[in-house]
Amino acid sequence: MEKRQALNALSGVLFGLGLVAFFDETVFHQLLYWHHFYDKSTTDIGLVSDGIFHSFSWFATIASLFMFADLRRKNVFYGKRWIGGILTGAGAFQLYDGTVQHKLMGLHQIRYGVNILPYDLVWNITAAAMLAAGIMLLIKTRHGVKADA
Amino acid sequence: MHSHHESASVFNWAQLILALPFLMAWFLYLLAAFTSKKKWPLYRIVLWTFGISLSLISVIGPLAERSHTDFNAHMLSHLFLGMLAPLLLSLSAPLTLAFRSLSVQIGRKLSKLLKSKPLKIAVHPLAASILNIGGLWVLYTTGLYGLMHEHKWIYVLVHVHIFLAGYLFTIAFLYIDPVSKRYSFKFRAAVLILAFAGHGILSKFIYANPPAGVPVKQAETAGMLMYYGGDVIDILIIVVFCYQWYHASRQGTSLSQANPS
């Protein structure tokens, strides 16, 4: 029983992480061109961290959807907990990206040639809010055994 | 790098050497598939034909010619020869077809060869990743890329390596054909993520540090082509991988309990 609880959360977390990475790539890199493909000031560790997260996020997105199908197949899908997982994964990754990768590792900035502070604030506050909401949902659904699929 | 105005004629024999094995493999596969007593699935024949065609496009003809002077053309042929073609070819299960068509004696010899030590080591996910991704790092961060265009035999060897390492890499993670030893899904997943990361990091490294003789603008577009083109093929590999995982866990109670073999 605990295993299925953990798997519902894990599938959500992985999907949330992949979702943010996908959003980042399509909206900020490809559509708006706000992010740079490669910032000449990027540190080696920033490049490695970016590479691993990029690769992991594709794997996470696809694996989480197969996990979702597996939970549905076994009739143990728990939607609320899954959404809690999504918010947690999305918030955690965006917060890590906005603080550690953008600031500490200097991977790239959200936008160039403008006052970056408002952008950074919006980015990280949204991330923290998603993370908090996700964790709260996960705590609330900790003991829920009934599948609401 | 010196000029390559003569490359079209100079590289002819190199192109022929690289193209012939693919043509032979295509012919043998079709022969085996159509003479097989049990019906061999049509989609596999189609996949095989696509895979062979992509390999041929990368080693012979206009794209191969252009890749001597244009780094973008080189990168596109690299994506075909080292990633997409190996995936298509491994999905068409050539070994399974071979075992079905060969006589028992030759089949035994083949399976003995597959179980030999060097091949067993080569299909270990870590070894296959190092041969594949490590090989690319060597190619683009040393003088090898420049040398390859000055010496035909290096050019041939590099291309043979790109294809074989790509194929080895694919069969080390996706078990379509029989393999000597199967590794767990979790272990393969972890190594796969690191290997893809190595490919992505190299793409961005090339963007910022062009290989010797490659103009900056070309290195930038080629780096992006390698990055996003690599993504597309990575996604295909991950989908097949996760599908195998999902399929194997049918009996178990959860994905995490799924065991291979």
- Residue B252: the pLDDT is 53
Residues of A with CB under 8 A from a CB of B: 3-4, 7, 37-38, 40, 42, 47-48, 50-52, 54-56, 58-59, 62-63, 66-67, 69-70, 74
- Residue A116: the pLDDT is 83
Distance (Å, whole) CA B168 – CA B196: 15
Give chain A's radius of gyration (CA, Å).
Answer: 17
Mutate to test the interface with B, among A2, A33, A38 (most CBs of B within 10 A): A38
Distance (Å, whole) CA B51 – CA B54: 5
Residue A142's alpha-carbon distances to A70, A145, B135, B207, in angstroms, are: 20, 8, 47, 46
A80 burial via Cβ count (<10 Å: 0-12, 13-18, 19+):
middle
How far the first Cα of chain B sits from its last, in Å, is 50
Distance (Å, whole) CA B112 – CA B80: 31
Q: Which residue has the tokens 């035999």?
A: B153
Name which of B200, B208, B238 is nearest A62 (Cβ-Cβ): B238
- Residue A148: the pLDDT is 47
Distance (Å, whole) CA B163 – CA B158: 9
The per-residue pLDDT string of chain A (149 residues; one tens digit each, 9 = 90 and over) reads 678 889 999 999 999 999 999 888 888 887 887 888 887 777 788 889 889 989 999 999 999 999 999 999 999 999 999 999 999 999 999 999 888 888 888 778 888 888 888 888 888 999 999 999 999 999 999 886 554 44
Distance (Å, whole) CA B90 – CA B95: 9
In this prediction, does ipTM exceed 0.90?
A: no
Token pair, residue B222, equals: 């080629």
CA atoms within 13 A on the CB side of A21: 25
Cβ-defined contact of B224 to A56 (cutoff 8 Å): no
B198-206 average pLDDT score: 95
- CB contacts of B223 in chain A (<8 Å) are 37-38
B122-142 average pLDDT score: 96
- CB contacts of B249 in chain A (<8 Å) are 70
Distance (Å, whole) CA A88 – CA A141: 13
- Residue A98 near residue A124, CB atoms below 8 Å: yes
Distance (Å, whole) CA A17 – CA A59: 10
Write the pLDDT tens digit of every residue in B65-105: 898 889 999 999 999 999 999 999 999 999 999 999 999 99
- Residue A112: the pLDDT is 84
Write the pLDDT tens digit of every residue in B151-186: 889 999 999 999 999 999 999 999 999 988 899 999
Instruction: For chain B, positions 162-201, list CB contacts with chain A under 8 A.
Output: 189, 192-194, 196-201
According to DSSP, residue A144 is labeled -
B105-123 average pLDDT score: 92
pLDDT of B258 > 50? The answer is no
- Residue A30 near residue A94, CB atoms below 8 Å: no
Distance (Å, whole) CA A45 – CA A66: 31
Q: Which residue has the tokens 């992505």?
A: B200
- Residue B238: the pLDDT is 97
Q: Record the pTM.
A: 0.88
DSSP string over B29-90: HHHHHHH-SSPPPHHHHHHHHHHHHHHHHHHSSHHHHHTTT-HHHHHHHHHIIIIIHHHHHH
B9: pLDDT confidence band, cut at 50, 70 and 90?
low
Name which of B192, B197, B253 is nearest A51 (Cβ-Cβ): B197
Average pLDDT, chain B: 90
B43-61 average pLDDT score: 96
- Residue A26: the pLDDT is 82
- Residue B144 near residue B74, CB atoms below 8 Å: no
- Residue B144: the pLDDT is 93
SS3 B169: helix
**Percent of chain B whose pLDDT exceeds 90:** 79
- Residue A32 near residue A114, CB atoms below 8 Å: no
Chain A to chain B, count of Cβ pairs less than 8 Å apart?
Answer: 77
- Residue A109 near residue A102, CB atoms below 8 Å: yes
Residue B103's alpha-carbon distances to B33, B110, B181, in angstroms, are: 15, 10, 24
Average pLDDT, chain A: 87
**Percent of chain A whose pLDDT exceeds 90:** 50
According to DSSP, residue B210 is labeled P
Cβ-defined contact of A70 to B249 (cutoff 8 Å): yes
